Homo-oligomer: A and B are copies of this chain.
Amino acid sequence: MPGQFIATLTHKLRSLGVINDDDIRIVESVAVKGKVIGADCRLLKENDKPGHCCLILNGYAYSSKTSASGERQILSLHIPGEIPDLHSLHVAMDHDLTTMTECTVGLIPHDAILALLARPNIAKALWRETILQASISREWIVNVGRRESLARLAHVLLELRHRLTTAGRSKNGSFELPITQSEWADCLGISTVHVNRVLQHLRRQRIIALERNTYRLLDVCKLVEVSQFNPNYLH
């Protein structure tokens, strides 16, 4: 099992930039501790200062903030291969991190990461990971700020399709996503009731199909059209 984590981690690093064999050797010496966590489990909460980062090997998680009045906004969805709390290396958590499904995660001690930073290639790759996450966050601002509800949902679907395909987790563009309508609402900044209506619309128009938890994007062109999706920001 530990080999799995190292393989995922090196794969991630390689996808982020130039990594040579010496770099890899050091990565392989990292002691990653595997862990399986149930669905709807809070991995980290605001203000936490964890001593490790989580590498998601399997499953979905999300970052969110909840206001005093109980309103929640989901900031991003995390898929396998990602390190959603990489920034915890530098600052305290400013949001929560929660599993959506059962997750297999690798806990990488901060010390180990700090040691890796001695290798400039790795330091650069990890910085780049933060930059890519930031770029996704910026697009979410546009999504909730300037798109109507239908377009918001369409946009997140296309983003996920794109990211999951890159991660090799989507076959022919359809993918599993065990998300409740209330979670959708908190992703999109709209109400649960309205999510329900938007989803119905998309299904009735045969733009998407939804059985169990798998989303099949039947009419990608239409989705792109309504959401003005442009994958540039995913670099």
Interface on A for B, CB 8 Å cutoff?
A: 46-47, 63, 65, 67-69, 71-73, 75, 87, 90-92, 94-95, 117-118, 120, 123-124, 126-128, 130-135, 137-142, 144-146, 188-189, 228, 232-233, 235
Q: Give the residues in chain B near A130, CB-CB below 8 Å.
A: 127, 130-131, 134
Cβ A123 vs Cβ B127 within 8 A: yes
Cβ A146 vs Cβ B189 within 8 A: yes
Cβ A138 vs Cβ B137 within 8 A: yes
| Cβ distance A154 to chain B, nearest Cβ, rounded Å | 14
Q: Give the residues in chain B near A92, CB-CB below 8 Å.
A: 232, 235
Per assembly, the copies of the chain total 2
Closest to A151 in B: B67
Chain A binding surface SS class: helix
Closest to A67 in B: B228
Q: Give the residues in chain B near A65, CB-CB below 8 Å.
A: 138-139, 142
Q: Give the residues in chain B near A233, CB-CB below 8 Å.
A: 94
Assembly CA distance A90 to B129 (angstroms): 10
